[in-house]
Amino acid sequence: MVLQFDIEGCARIQPAGSFNPGLGLVLEDQADTVGLNWALVCGYIHDAAVPVCGETRVFHLTSRN
């Protein structure tokens, strides 16, 4: 997983090795980004009730290894 920040400062995660920026998902908890770059993470994708960074389809992080 690769952690990226867009020009608005929103954290997005993307599968490592993918070159398609459209595969990135907004991280639900924007404050919890320490140690996520190139990490193996577990979580799930869901539709948030309140938009995060303008998007409702987000990645909810449950653990990192």
Residues 47, 48, 50, 52, CA torsion sign:
negative
CA distance 43 to 59: 7
Torsion angles phi and psi, residue 21, rounded to 5: -65, -15
Name the residue range of residue 40's domain. Answer: 2-64
β-bridge mates for residue 58, sequence order: 26, 46
Q: What would the pLDDT profile of 3-42 be if each residue is shown by its tens digit?
A: 888 888 999 988 877 777 677 899 998 887 877 888 888 9
Q: Which residue has the tokens 């389809």?
A: 57
Q: Is residue 49 over pLDDT 80? A: yes
Q: Is residue 50 over pLDDT 80? A: yes
More confident residue, 45 or 65: 45
* Domain total in the chain: 1
This prediction's pTM: 0.82
